[in-house]
Amino acid sequence: MNSTWRLIHYFAFVAWIGGALGVMMAGITMKKLDRSLWGGVADVQSALFRLLVAPGSIVTLASGFVLTMQMYGALSGQSRPWMGMMQGMGFLGTLITLLGAMPAAAKLARLEPLGETAAAFDAARARLRITGMIGGFCSFLALVAGALYRTG
């Protein structure tokens, strides 16, 4: 059963980080396009968040919790510092993704890049960029901590 949960955990983490990297690449590519086409790119970014990033982060967090309970039992206090860092950064990354980046991506898809909503579009894009970078950095630290835990 532990192997199944690990597979779920790794697959969800790949969906989370892979989707976030896709959103980042779409945002970088967006700058090279005519501004009238930015709305289509924002729709793709929002879809990636809805279909990969948000579910991946939630399933990663839930499966990590299950794996922790299987490994140590509830509140036994036996974990190593790297394990705590992986859990903490994963939890923080999930919160930032769900409470910061996800609403920004949804708002970005509802706005038009030209006209009256151009300023709001730019603000939502900036919020998505900043929260995406912070959430991605937290998940990267969780990945590094998990790799160090496995070897340490």
Exposure class string for 83-100: b at 16+ Cβ within 10 A, else e: bebbbebbbbbbebbbeb
pLDDT above 70: percentage of residues in the chain? 91
**Which tokens is 5 given?**
């949960």
Q: Which DSSP string do the residues of 68-96 spell out, in sequence order? A: HHHHH-TT-----HHHHHHHHHHHHHHHH
* Average pLDDT along the chain: 88
Confidence category of residue 81, pLDDT binned at 50, 70, 90: confident
The answer to whether 69 and 58 are in contact (CB under 8 A) is no
**The predicted structure's pLDDT at residue 78:** 60
**The predicted structure's pLDDT at residue 67:** 86
**151, pLDDT greater than 70:** no
pLDDT digits (tens, 9 = 90+) for 20-49: 999 999 999 999 999 999 999 999 999 999
**The predicted structure's pLDDT at residue 43:** 94
**123, pLDDT greater than 90:** yes
- What DSSP designation does 32 have? T
Confidence category of residue 146, pLDDT binned at 50, 70, 90: confident
- What DSSP designation does 1 have? -
The answer to whether 93 and 135 are in contact (CB under 8 A) is yes
**The predicted structure's pLDDT at residue 100:** 93
